[in-house]
Amino acid sequence: MWARWALAVYLIGFLEGSCVHILDVVRDGIHAYAAFPQVPLRGFFVSLAILDPLVAVLVTLVRRTGIWLAGAVMVTDVCANWWGNRHWLEDGPARLLSLSPITVFGLFVVAFLLPLQRTVAR
């Protein structure tokens, strides 16, 4: 029962991420994340318009690969957001609070990764 709830939270989080990244790319194209000076970060955030929906589909189908991909995407996404916005430490540390939702969701995904893998494997 707990696994269904955890997968539902995964699904909600990745659907929300899908909407955000797809809308950003539709609105601004490949320049959607031009505010980040690092080209690899821009490319990664644009790629989330594909990766987030892929994770959502795989999680919906209860695939182990979806759970692993969810973990990989969230670890990378959280690190990329913190790295890309590290200047906020000097400019306005309170702005870092806006990274709280993605950080909490990333911790949730990682915390449930192995338990979900074991449960889905059965």
Q: Using one digit for the tens of pLDDT, what is the confidence trace for 45-62?
A: 999 999 999 999 999 999
Residue 92 pLDDT exceeds 90 = no
How many CA within 13 A on the CB side of residue 75? 9
Q: Provide mean pLDDT across the span 96-100.
A: 86
Mean pLDDT of the chain: 93
Predicted pLDDT of residue 7: 97
Yes or no: say if 117 and 7 are a contact pair by the CB < 8 Å rule.
no
Asked if the model's pLDDT at residue 95 lies above 90, the reply is no
Report the domain count for the chain. 1
Q: Domain range spanning residue 85?
A: 2-121
CA angle 71, 76, 78 (to 5 degrees): 95
Would the pLDDT of 34 be above 80? yes
51 in Cβ contact with 10 (< 8 Å) = no
**Predicted pLDDT at 97:** 85
